[in-house]
């Protein structure tokens, strides 16, 4: 069956190791759109951080952001949402405060209150670039609990790979854990990890499945391309999963078709094969 929907992770898949969008990947996505294929960017990024990439593609793409908690158009319209109840966000923030000082809470808002934070060291080399690029959407709120005037999209922590694994284990022991989706994204080469906490049932895979149903597309006509732990569920859903050559080892272990690395435009290769029916 021809591919009718392609879900593409951003970091480590669409973008290269420098965080740039290679011209060849841009052309491949454009060819897919011109062929009538629906393209979805599925990312752990918040909407404000993902939108510039979608704009750079300059096409009718839909964004699944915050690891599946929100599905939005390029224009900012919310097409689907599964927000984190305030009571659960508060329970997490209260319980983890003694274990981790820096935290962000993301909301479905178009302004500087979209990303609120407390105690994050933006001078850290793994974080400084994010602040410089996205600060117009960010507001310092101390204590962070004061930001919970509405149900948020997610609660997020960042740190070393080992620290975030420990923090994730702490979350799994909380009474509220059964009502949460606990997602780790790891970059071992930089010893950097993100821990995202969203409403239970959220994942890129669940959001992709909902999008495919809305479009009337069978899963066997869906291709997904990714490289990290938060891509697992969407790769499991897709009838044509593709793993990047630079992917983390747990993802490669599933035995799905392997593309070249992001610096070698493995995504473009995968899209071109889909377009030619190979």
Model confidence, pTM: 0.94
238 and 183 co-located in one domain? no
Which of 199, 218, 237 is a domain's end point? 199
Q: What percent of the chain has pLDDT over 70?
A: 100
pLDDT at 126: 80
> Cβ contacts of residue 48 below 8 Å, gap of 6+?
114, 115, 134, 137
Mean pLDDT of the chain: 95
Does the structure show a pLDDT above 70 at 278? no
Q: Which of 123-132, 138-147, 169-178, 179-188 has the lowest mean pLDDT?
A: 123-132
Q: What is the pLDDT of residue 267?
A: 98
Pair (65, 157) in one structural domain: no
> In sequence order, what E strands does 66-147 have?
70-73, 78-81, 103-106, 115-118, 138-140
Q: Give the pLDDT band (50/70/90) at residue 80.
A: very high
Instruction: Specify whether 235 is located in the same domain as 163.
Output: no
Query: Is there a contact between 233 and 201 (Cβ–Cβ < 8 Å)?
Result: no
Band of pLDDT at residue 33, cut at 50, 70 and 90: very high
* Same domain as 97, residue 30: no
Residue 262 has pLDDT above 70, yes or no: yes
- Which domain does 265 fall in, by range? 5-81+203-276
pLDDT of residue 125: 84
């Amino acid at each position: 069956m021809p591919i009718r929907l392609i879900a593409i992770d951003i970091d480590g898949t669409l973008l290269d190791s420098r965080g740039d969008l290679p011209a060849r990947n841009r052309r491949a996505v454009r060819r897919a759109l011109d062929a009538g294929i629906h393209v979805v960017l599925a990312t752990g990024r918040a909407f404000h951080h993902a939108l510039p990439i979608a704009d750079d593609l300059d096409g009718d793409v839909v964004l699944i952001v915050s690891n599946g908690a929100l599905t939005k158009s390029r224009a900012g319209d919310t097409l689907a949402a599964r927000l984190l109840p305030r009571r659960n966000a508060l329970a997490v923030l209260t319980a983890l405060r003694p274990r981790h000082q820096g935290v962000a809470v993301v909301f479905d808002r178009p302004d500087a209150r979209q990303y609120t934070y407390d105690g994050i060291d933006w001078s850290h080399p793994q974080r400084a670039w994010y602040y410089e690029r996205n600060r117009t959407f960010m507001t310092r709120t101390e204590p962070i609990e004061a930001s919970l005037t509405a149900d948020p999209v997610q609660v997020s922590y960042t740190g070393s790979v080992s620290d975030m694994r420990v923090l994730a284990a702490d979350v799994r022991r909380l009474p509220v854990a059964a009502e949460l989706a606990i997602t780790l994204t790891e970059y071992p080469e930089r010893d950097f990890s993100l821990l995202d906490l969203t409403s239970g049932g959220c994942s890129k895979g669940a959001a992709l499945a909902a999008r495919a149903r809305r479009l009337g597309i069978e899963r066997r006509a869906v291709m997904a391309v990714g490289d990290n732990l938060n891509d697992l569920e969407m790769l499991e859903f897709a009838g044509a999963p593709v793993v990047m050559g630079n992917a983390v080892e747990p993802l490669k272990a599933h035995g799905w078709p392997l593309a070249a690395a992001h610096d070698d435009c493995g995504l473009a290769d995968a899209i071109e094969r889909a377009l030619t029916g190979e």
